[in-house]
Amino acid sequence: MAEYETAQAAGFKDRKTRLVVFGILQIIFGGLCTLLVPLVILGMIMSATVNKGNAAAGASLRMMIPGILIYLLLAVWFIWMGIGSIRTRRWARALILISSWLWLITGVLGGVFMLVLLPARYDQMGESGPDSYFSQRGGCHYEVRDDGVYGRVLCYHSGSACPVL
């Protein structure tokens, strides 16, 4: 029995410091997600004041509730996983790995689909350009820009630009 315990102790690596640091980072991410909720509400208020004459252009509360809920759920998730990581709970590691892989796969597939579908969307626009194409259809114009620092996707709707990514 003593041989088994020593073999187990020999392969043990203390990762407590890494878990605490990673847990603190997750709690910080959760706090940042919490801070984004008032920014969504502020954006809704600013949109309503800028677009007073055009009721359709202003963001309604119904449109903002899903964004607020997503930020609140992400805040709860990050804070909960951060506390579990700091307390070195086994369930925290398993759930963090599962969610990390899902987010990685989703991000890679989303990036691939954007690279494939956006050029086809520009070809559909033809010679008239994106403004007349989307104004005829009442839709939103997406544009990929690379500023040299980072790439981003902009959504043009009703003459105003709002960053999507």
Confidence of residue 63 (pLDDT cuts 50, 70, 90): confident
Asked if the model's pLDDT at residue 124 lies above 90, the reply is: no
Helices and strands counted in the chain (H then E)? 5, 3
H/E stretch holding 157: strand 151-157
Least confident of 10-24, 70-84, 103-117, 123-137: 123-137
Q: What's residue 31's pLDDT?
A: 96
Contact 131, 157 (CB under 8 A): no
Q: What is the rounded CA–CA span in Å between residue 24 and residue 17?
A: 11
Instruction: Please classify residue 64 by burial: count the beta carbons closer than 10 Å to its beta carbon, then call 0-12 exposed, 13-18 middle and 19+ buried.
Output: middle
Please report where in the chains the tokens 């949109």 appear, as a residue: 47
Place of tokens 């509400």: 41
Residue-wise DSSP of 84-142 = HHHTT-HHHHHHHHHHHHHHHHHHHHHHHHHHHHHHHHHHHHGGGHHHHHHHHHT--EE
How many residues in the chain? Answer: 165
**For 157, phi and psi rounded to 5 degrees?**
-145, 125
Question: Of 36-50, 70-84, 123-137, which gets the smallest average pLDDT?
Answer: 123-137
Tell me the percentage of the chain whose pLDDT exceeds 70. 59
- What residues have CB less than 8 Å from 145, skipping those under 6 apart? 151, 152, 153, 154
Name the pLDDT band for 134 (thresholds 50, 70, 90): low
What is the pTM for the complete model shown? 0.61
Radius of gyration of the chain (CA): 23
